Every structure is written in C-alpha cells, then in structure tokens.
Structure 1
Amino acid sequence: MPRRPLALRTYLAYAHGRKAGSGAGRVPLPERPAGPLIWAHGGDRESGRSLGNLCARLKQQAPDVTVLATGSCTTCPESILADVPPELPADVTRFAQEMRPEIGLWTGSELRPALMMALQDAGTRLFALGAAGDGYTTPSPRWAPDPVPGTLGLFDAVYPASEEAERQLRRLGVLPTRLRAAGPFMPAPLPLTVREEDHEELAATCAGRPIWLAAHLRAAEAGDILSAHKRAVRLAHRLLLVLVPENAEEARGIAAAAAASGLRLCRWDAGELPDDNTQVLVVNDGDDLGLWYRLSPVTYLGGSLVAGHGGHDPLEAAALGTAILYGPNVGKHLPAYTRLAKAGAARIVQGDSSLASAISALVAPEQAAAMAHAGWEVITQGADQTDAVIAELLETLDMVPAGGEDD
C-alpha cells in the first residue's frame, strides 16, 4: 500500500493520542448479515434523504444487498441502522473489520479521516456523493496539517455537486480519474404506485373538470385551503379540490373543517364518487396519493403554510407530473424546493389569497403543464446521475467478493 500523506499520518498519531483520555465507550454494532453490504452515511438531513432514495432504488435492482445506514440516512427501507464510530483507531478498525462493507457511500462536509483509512485498509470501495468543493471539516486539531485533501484522496469515486465543485475538488488534489460527471445529488423517491383501473375510472368521472390537490395536509392549514378554494371557484365553477391528510390524526380536523365550510363534499373512503356538483373530495389517508397526483395538474404540498412541520419532499409530487405550490415553511426540504422553483416547477404562496390567485392562474391547462414539464426535467436530470451512480455500484459489487459470505 502506498505511503499515506503526512497530514493523514499526523492525524492518525493525534487520534492515537486521544484514545487514552477520550472516555468513549464502544459503539454497539449490529451483526453483519450475509451477502453484499453497503454502508451509507448521511451527513445532513437533505443529503441523508437523497442517499436513502438512492439506496431504495439500488435495492430494486439488487435485492440481495443490505444497507447499513448511519448518520442522517434513515429513509432506505429494510436498512440496518447503526451509529457511526468515533474517530478513535480501535473503534474505526472494529467497525471496518466486523462490518466489512463492500462499498461505503458518504455524503456531507464533515469528513472522518481515521474511519476512511480503516475502511480502505479493510478493502471497502469508497464513494463520495454530492461532493462540495469547499467547506469540509475534520476533527483534526488546528496545529496539524490539513487532512482534507488526503481524506478526499481515499475515495475511489467522487461525484461533484456542480461544475464549480469539480474545479475546486481538482485543486484539492482529487485525481481526474476518480472524478465523475458533476450534478446535484438529488435522487427522487420511488414513484408512488397507481392502480390504472382507478385512474381510468376517476379520469372518466372527472373528465373536463379542473382539479387541484392539497396533499400531506395539516388540520391547521385546512381553513386557508378551503378559503382559497372558495375564492377560486368563483372564477372556475367546476373546480374540484381533493384533500389528502398527512395522517389519521390530521384527517379528523380536516374533515371537520371541510364539513363546516359550506362546500359540497364527497367522501372517498365512504365509497362515494364525485359528481358534477361536488366541490371538495375528502380523503382519509394517503394510501392512494399516487392516484391523486396523477389526476391533479396542480398540487399544494402541506405542512408549509404553518410553522413547525418543515414541509414535505416535493420530488415525490414532481415525479408524477403535477405543478407544485407551497408555503414559506419548507426548511426540511429547502434545497429541493429551491431547485424546483428556479426551474419554474414550483411556486411559493403566502396564504389563502395568494393561493387562490395561483390556483386561478394554473386552471389554464397550458400553465400547469409548463410547470409540470419543468418539474419532470428536474427529476430527469437527477435521474441521470442516479442511474450513473447505481450502474457503478452494481459494477463494483460484481468485482468484489461479498464480505459476509463464509470463506
């Protein structure tokens, strides 16, 4: 193995020196499953969610793969959750040797040099996804040489978040042969399923009617949604609103607000279908949310007009071809909303009045279609990089023996 850079050797010496006085206990590790294992670490909430989406898509093509998730990567189905070990030589060596992941996926700007070195020594192929060009941090002391360039050099493949990030990563010494095509790391969640029979029946029932959807709705914002609908109906008399709550608890408050609104209701879960007089279709849960996205050219995504929820992932809706409206409280998903808004696929509203105006403008089919198309282009751009990452991961898995198999 080539001699490691001075900065990494200095960092390891520092990590060894911390060991005696750290007082850290051993981090419990799950039992390593048989077969290929991919370790996925989310450095922050947004990148962790994207990483979870990527792993879910990977498992569709390689169902025998198990994902070991650490950090903020908590959204991949059937993954094993664990804590990332502290930067102590014994802990990182134990993690690398006991878990023996074939592949490690890393997102975020907080690098862990000792952990990366231990994994490289154990034969793990390391991938940096959505890599920024600057802002990296490590636990290294200020007096030591910067270990960031050396740590980035431990990755077998680096996917830059942008062309500017790619230029900066080159200046940090990342080899051109390890740099991949630049692009934002934003894999969309798996598309929601739709029963085609239901879609065809409802599309025929509502033929010619403009429809808009309030999805992942909270009871506290139901009043604004219903008020906006009343305003919009004055200009589009056949306009139909579909209300889909975030959960069963919110559903009760939403149903009560709808009943008190004076609008003509239809209750989907009672087996009712909308007729020409129906103004609001009330749904009890999100089981058929894919159906409602497909039917509705325009969607307001809930949890965003009221504070405390942080909004909902807009890529879910954009992937099914609907224009997106949202309120100002989307902090949990701000990068995704920002990207969609810049592309013209999403529009912010501030309350019932601006929501009503937006709905009235988007009743024109060409307006909503243009926004939906812009959203689809954003999804497609992200899909290209997602496909490239998955293809490389599958190729890598084919090249290395599964660490969980018996010798």
Structure 2
Amino acid sequence: MSGSLALGAYLALSALAAGGRPEAEPERPEGPLLWIHTEEAARLPALLALAERLEPEMAVLATIPPGIEMPASSGAAILRPAPPERGGTAKAFLDHWRPDLLLWAGGSLRPGLIARMSGPRLLVDGAPQPRLLASGAGWPGLARGVAPLFDRALVSGDTAAERLARAGLPGERIELAGPLDAPAPVLPCNERERRDLAQTIGARPVWLAGDLPLAELPAVIAAYRLASRSAHRLLLILAPRLSEEAEALGRALAEAGLRVADRAEGEEPEEATQVFLADGPAEMGLWLRLAPLAYLGGTLPGGPGGRAPFEAAALGAALLHGPETAPHGESWERLDTAGAARVVRNGVELGRAVEGLLAPDRVAAMAHAGWDVATQGAEVANRVADLIRETLARARQPGRAAPTPRLAAPAGA
C-alpha cells in the first residue's frame, strides 16, 4: 500500500472511531502560535526552555499525552493534554487553537495529529526509536505517508537520518544536529571565596567527591589512599549529599587517620590537610570551580543515583561516576562516549582513575570534551529557534498561499 493511501485509510478509520467528548480549552492568545508536542516527559524541560526563549515573539502551546504527569509550572507555554486521534476531537482541538507551526519532538509520531495540522511542521530529535510511529505502527506503508509531511527534520545521528529517509522524507529536508537539551543550570559561586580558597590551595592537586552519601565514604577513602601514593600533596574536597551527614563523615574520616579541615568550623585547607570537608551540598558551584576532577556520588553499585552531570561538565570538570546513573543515564552515556567521563565500580577503580587523571593535560582534554557536550544543547536550541522564526516568516509572507497538508483529512475528521 502506498504511503498516501495508507495515511488516507488511517485518517478515515480514525474519524469513524468513537471519540471522547472534546475537552474545554483555554482561550487562544492573539498573534502567532507555535504548537509543540512530545510523547516523552524527559523532553519537556528542554521544550519549555525553548518556549521561554521564543517569548514574547509568539505564544507557545505544548501538548503531552494524557498519561504523562503535568509539571507544576510550564513557564511561558500553555500546557495541555494532547487530543486523541479518533473521532472529531483532534479536528476540534486544531480548529480552536489554529497553530501556525508544529514542532514535534521525538520519533514517536501520531499520524492523526500530524496530518490534520494545516501549517508547517518541523521535527526535532526525530526517529531515535526503531518504531517511527507511536500509533498505527502495524499499518503497512503508513510511515511513508507521515514522514514526508515534515518541512524539516533535525536528527542526532546517521541512524536516525537513514530511518527517516527510508520512510520517505527527502534528504534535503534532513539536518544533522545534536539533541535538544534544557540548558544546564549555572551553579552559583562566591567569587571572593573561590579566589581566597584557590590561593590557599595553591598548586596542590585537587579532586572532588561531590554529592556524596555516607554509604560511599569507605570507597572514597580507599580511592584517596591509592591515589595519594603518587600525589603526596593530594587534596580531597568532600561535599556531603545531606548536611546532616557531615558530622558523621567527619568522624569517619578522622577515625581513618586522615587529616580533616572542617568548613563548618571555619577551618581552611592548609598544607597538611588531606580532606577539606564541606558542610553540605549547597556550594557545589564553588567546589566544581576549584577541583578539575570530580566524582559525583550516589552512583556506585547499589547507590541511589546522582545529580545531573551537565551542570558539572558545563563548569569544566572532568567527571567520574559509578554505573548507577538513573535518572540521568542518557546524559552520562553521552559524556562517556565523548571521553568526558569515566565509569568506576568501586574504590580501587576510583582511586586508579584519580591517580591516572591528575596529569593536567589528561584532565583538561576530558573537561573540554565535557564542556562541548554540556553546551551543545544551547547551540541546538539556537538553531531550532532560528528555524522556527524562519519557517513562520516564510509562511506569513504576503501573497504566499496558506500551506496545506499533503493529504487532506477526510470530511468530519
């Protein structure tokens, strides 16, 4: 079955299927309206950040499937559940909102929503899954009817590009780009304190065990002992995950025979200090600016998982982590692939990694690769925002015919 016939049949049958009563919608704002849709909750932060970037040039409507929990705040976007494809619900939704442009994020495509959109359509992070369609995947030829509806697709990798090309999207409409990420937060830092501490530490080699739970302290102590064999002036900055665990961490470090300076007591990391103990996680921006190499805690086997790694990579830290990377597994995988991070599984591996990365040229190469990965999302966001503006400008040119879908939906759909 050809793509156009498959899509026409799909739209006809979905129009005849029983549909729920259309949900009451808020009033449509004046001016141009961008409609953003994703099937995945993990993509929402980046898309909502994009909406803030485009404000006040245009209003933004963001939709997600009803099964995904709505975030507490949507910032500049109007956040709504996506309409079902069946019955007349999708048509009523689009008749109400009259979006000027559709930005679809991810490869899970819904033919009934995409085909009924009458304006330009853009795809970002497209076709990462083997199954291109979120609905109608069992219909022969349906993907070849849906993929060509997009005016432009930004994809992160040759595999995704090939998948869209096989589905019928012309190659000249496919553009390779990195993933669209939410911008990494810039962790704050008291510059005067950073300068004073940097002067106190001087040229000593420094590494950070940040966001560290008490359960991982034995592994970190073992790592310090191993790494300090070849770096006798090595300083460990230890930032606890929980402020209430700082006292217990300090006692355990002292019992292990390590010389500790306690920031909560106003102590400084003097020449004889082996561990500088922070009083909690609040000053991670300061410690990451002081330590070129950081292990992010909670990630060793059995751990609870750690914090988002891009905020550390964006500050120029080379990163070490354990295998427990949820809920940031995709970010860690990208950093590992780029050579910006390294996986360790116990204290011995952590110590060997620290020992091997104390050379400035090695840690600098990792840090540079991490910065590239962490900031790539901002470059992609700029490209997507520019593409949205350019597409809207072309669509609104005087005398230009209003865009129409490649295959009109059946009457009443």
TM category (shorter chain) comes to 0.7 to 0.9
Match of 1:59 in 2: 52
Spell out, residue by residue over 1:156-215, the C-alpha distance to the aligned partner (whole angstroms, 9 max, x if none).
321122134323322321134432234444565243344433332332222212222223
Given the alignment of the two structures, is residue 7 of structure 1 paired with residue 6 of structure 2, yes or no?
yes
Given the alignment of the two structures, is residue 211 of structure 1 paired with residue 210 of structure 2, yes or no?
no
Moved more, 303-312 or 366-375: 303-312
Residues 325 and 349 in structure 1, CA contact (< 8 A), matched pair in contact too: yes
Q: 1:102, CA displacement in angstroms?
A: 4.3
Residues 246 and 280 in structure 2, CA contact (< 8 A), matched pair in contact too: no
Given the alignment of the two structures, is residue 70 of structure 1 paired with residue 64 of structure 2, yes or no?
yes
**SS of the residue aligned with 2:175?**
coil
What amino acid is the match of 1:146?
G
Residues 89 and 114 in structure 1, CA contact (< 8 A), matched pair in contact too: no
Q: Out of 218, 227, 242, which is 1:232 matched to?
A: 227
Moved more, 58-67 or 82-91: 58-67
Moved more, 33-42 or 162-171: 33-42
State the aligned residue count: 385
> What is the 5 A alignment of 1:107-186?
107-118=105-116, 120-121=117-118, 123=119, 125-132=120-127, 134-140=130-136, 142=138, 144-186=139-181
**SS of the residue aligned with 1:243?**
strand
Match of 2:269 in 1: 274
Structure 1 unaligned segments of length 5 or more: list them: 402-407
Q: Out of 315, 318, 322, which is 2:313 matched to?
A: 318
TM-score, scaled relative to structure 1: 0.80
**SS of the residue aligned with 2:85?**
coil
Given the alignment of the two structures, is residue 292 of structure 1 paired with residue 254 of structure 2, yes or no?
no
Spell out, residue by residue over 1:331-363, the C-alpha distance to the aligned partner (whole angstroms, 9 max, x if none).
433333223223221110001111111112222
Q: Out of 98, 104, 107, which is 1:106 matched to?
A: 104
Match of 2:332 in 1: 337
**SS of the residue aligned with 2:160?**
helix
Distance in 1 (alpha carbons) for counterparts of 2:102 and 2:246? 44
Spell out, residue by residue over 1:207-256, the C-alpha distance to the aligned partner (whole angstroms, 9 max, x if none).
2122222233334324422442344334433322233345xxx3323542
Q: 1:63, CA displacement in angstroms?
A: 5.7
Distance in 2 (alpha carbons) for counterparts of 1:282 and 1:102? 55
Match of 1:303 in 2: 298
Given the alignment of the two structures, is residue 369 of structure 1 paired with residue 364 of structure 2, yes or no?
yes
- Decide whether aligned partners of structure 1 residues 224 and 102 sit closer, same or farther in structure 2, where only a CA change above 3 A counts: farther
Distance in 2 (alpha carbons) for counterparts of 1:159 and 1:352? 41
Residues 221 and 306 in structure 1, CA contact (< 8 A), matched pair in contact too: no
**RMSD of the TM alignment (CA)?**
3.4
The structure, 1 or 2, with the larger RCO (C-alpha pairs under 8 Å, 6+ apart) is: 2
**SS of the residue aligned with 2:273?**
coil
**SS of the residue aligned with 2:103?**
strand
- Decide whether aligned partners of structure 1 residues 69 and 243 sit closer, same or farther in structure 2, where only a CA change above 3 A counts: farther
Given the alignment of the two structures, is residue 252 of structure 1 paired with residue 247 of structure 2, yes or no?
no
Residues 219 and 346 in structure 2, CA contact (< 8 A), matched pair in contact too: yes
Structure 2 unaligned segments of length 5 or more: list them: 397-413
- Decide whether aligned partners of structure 1 residues 75 and 359 sit closer, same or farther in structure 2, where only a CA change above 3 A counts: farther
- Decide whether aligned partners of structure 1 residues 141 and 197 sit closer, same or farther in structure 2, where only a CA change above 3 A counts: closer
Q: Out of 76, 80, 83, which is 1:82 matched to?
A: 80
TM-score, scaled relative to structure 2: 0.79
Q: Out of 331, 350, 355, which is 1:355 matched to?
A: 350
**SS of the residue aligned with 1:261?**
helix
Residues 127 and 160 in structure 2, CA contact (< 8 A), matched pair in contact too: yes
**SS of the residue aligned with 1:127?**
strand
Distance in 2 (alpha carbons) for counterparts of 1:30 and 1:390? 25
- Decide whether aligned partners of structure 1 residues 40 and 204 sit closer, same or farther in structure 2, where only a CA change above 3 A counts: farther
Of all paired residues, the percent bearing the same amino acid is 36
What amino acid is the match of 1:12?
L
What amino acid is the match of 1:229?
Y
Residues 22 and 93 in structure 2, CA contact (< 8 A), matched pair in contact too: no
- Decide whether aligned partners of structure 1 residues 109 and 321 sit closer, same or farther in structure 2, where only a CA change above 3 A counts: same
Structure possessing the higher radius of gyration over alpha carbons: 2
Distance in 2 (alpha carbons) for counterparts of 1:277 and 1:61? 53
